[in-house]
Amino acid sequence: MFTQSVSDILKKIRRIEIRTRNPVAEIFRGEYHSRFKGQGLEFSEVREYQPGDNYRDIDWNVSARLGQLYIKKYRETRELRVVFLVDVSASQEFGTRSMIKRERIAELVAALAFSAVANQDLAGLILFSDRVEKFLPPRKGRNNALAILREVLYYEPKSKKTSLQVACEYAHKMLKKRCILFIISDWIDSGYEHSLKILATKNDVIAIRVLDDSELELPRAGILSLQDPETGEEVWINSSDPKLRKAYQEIVNKEQKDLEEFFRKCNCDYLLIRTSESYINSLRKFFTLRERRR
């Protein structure tokens, strides 16, 4: 994957940009922006104090200079800061059908990043494994979106392992203003819960879990050798054994239920996307559900 020529890399990025153009135009341009709150209020002007105004808005410096009370006026700003926290650990290179998880993640990021471009918003990127691998501060423009996509597709991580805790703590430290945070991973990790809760108090967090079908349902394929891409640990299983298949499904279902409940308590949105399914439909449902909750 990482031995492609510059020409091949540019072609692939261009193909993804073209492939995501229609979803951006048809679904997200406008819908994307209306489903998120702006950054709050920004200073607009000062005016003379009037009865009924909130005393907390008094600008004491201006009032002292002019000899009478003035208050600060604010206006709502709709400019968004969208930041993608993307897991680039070794488990993202896994896939059993049309694409690996990392490629599906790239399409997701492209659709959302180009939506930000269409709405004149800022987009940034944090790539992480068990360390922060790359940080692109939020900026505007198509070239910035293309740079984000290139890094998601082709960055070569220094570590194979995962730490969502490290990613959340870094985002909390580096992102001083409120952001829309899309945390995209397979969420096969632990120990991040407290850090995510803190991050979600300041930001609008959307947790996106990208999984291959075989991670959700054990394929019936006889004797299989399974290797953990992050640790190298290998086990042999009989995937046709009904008892094993049932136990595996029970574990997956419980894990999924526990994750959903945890994200709900953290006030984070949660979205599961399979590599074999259309991310467009998943995002459309997400936007619809988010609108109903407003």
When pLDDT is averaged across residues 253-269 and rounded to a whole number, the result is 92
Phi, then psi, of 88 in degrees rounded to 5: -115, 25
Q: How far apart are the C-alpha atoms of 22 and 3, rounded to whole Å?
A: 30
Contact 99, 166 (CB under 8 A): no
* Cα–Cα distance measured from residue 101 to residue 284, given in angstroms and rounded to the nearest whole number: 20
Q: How many C-alpha atoms does 214 have within 13 Å on its Cβ side?
A: 14
pLDDT, tens only, 236-245: 888 788 888 8
Amino acid identity, position 164: L
DSSP string, 136-147: EEEE-SHHHHHH
Distances (CA, A) of 221 to 58, 214, 233, 245, 274: 71, 11, 20, 11, 20
Structural domain spans, the chain = 6-35+79-293, 41-77
Mean pLDDT of 138-156: 92
Q: Are 117 and 140 in contact (CB under 8 A)?
A: yes
CATH topology of domain 6-35+79-293: Rossmann fold (3.40.50)
Q: How far apart are CA 137 and CA 144, in angstroms?
A: 10
Helix 6-23, helix 101-118: angle, nearest 10? 60
Residue 165 neighbours by CB distance under 10 Å: 18
Range name among 8-12, 54-58, 83-87, 268-272 with the lowest pLDDT average: 8-12
State mean pLDDT over 28-52.
Answer: 64
Is the pLDDT at 39 greater than 60? The verdict is no
Residue 191's SS3 state is coil
With beta carbons less than 8 A apart as the criterion, state whether 92 and 209 touch. Answer: no
User: Which residue stretches of 203-278 are H helix?
Assistant: 213-216, 242-265
In this prediction, residue 1 has a pLDDT band, given cuts at 50, 70 and 90, of very low
Q: What is the pTM of this model?
A: 0.78
Q: With CA atoms as reference, report the closest residue to 40 among 13, 75, 4.
A: 75
Mean pLDDT of 152-170: 94
Helix axes 142-154, 6-23, angle to 10 degrees: 120
Give the residue ranges of DSSP H helices in the chain. Answer: 6-23, 31-34, 60-66, 101-118, 142-154, 164-174, 193-202, 213-216, 242-265, 279-293
The residue written with tokens 């229609």 in the block is: 22
pLDDT per position as a tens digit, 64-115: 888 888 887 766 556 789 999 999 999 888 877 677 888 889 888 988 888 8
Q: For the chain, how far is it from start to end, CA to CA, in angstroms?
A: 42
Rounded to a whole number of angstroms, the CA Rg of the chain reads 23
Residue 274 contacts residue 212 (beta carbons within 8 Å): yes
Residue 109 contacts residue 184 (beta carbons within 8 Å) = yes
Tokens (6 digits) for 215: 């991670």
Mean pLDDT calculated for residue range 195-206: 94
Instruction: Name the pLDDT band for 7 (thresholds 50, 70, 90).
Output: low
